[in-house]
Amino acid sequence: MEKGKITLTSNKGITLTSLIIYIIGMTIIVGIVATLTSVLQNNINEFGQNSEDIAQILNFNMYFLEDVKKENNKIVKINNELHQITFLTGNTYTFSENSIYFNNVKICENIKNVKFELSQDSNTVKVQIQTNSTPSYEKIIEYTIK
């Protein structure tokens, strides 16, 4: 090398500008991942609550279908003030204290409202069930009486 002559050598390394760009890029990526994780977690929690509500309604459906499918089992009385329906066999379904009772045995809980409605020809009963959760889940089921 000659004296007084400066040679440029390749400095391999990270400059301040590239470091700042890397940090900003990683911050954006971490923010996006955190947002997606939060949204996914909220959806999973909502799905979990809805599945519990559906399980409660299915439990009621299992008992109610048994009475509806019995031969010559008619509905004797519907009292929507007491939220109660009574069959010819004596089986009674009552909504009280956020629960549905089958002959005074609790079969569903976390229920906000139940409404029973008998058709004009008395062959179909419509049951409207609304859960007490947030967001509320509502199901309307029509049963044909044999």
| Average pLDDT value for the chain | 86
In a domain, 10, yes or no: no
C-alpha closest to that of 112 among 93, 127, 95, 126: 95
- What is this structure's pTM? 0.66
- Per residue in 4-60, pLDDT (tens digit) is 666 656 666 678 888 899 999 999 999 999 999 888 887 776 666 667 888 888 999
How many structural domains are present in the chain? 1
In a domain, 48, yes or no: yes
Question: What is the extent of the structural domain holding 82?
Answer: 16-144
Q: How far apart are CA 138 and CA 69, in angstroms?
A: 24
In a domain, 90, yes or no: yes
In a domain, 6, yes or no: no
* Residue 115 structure tokens: 């409404």
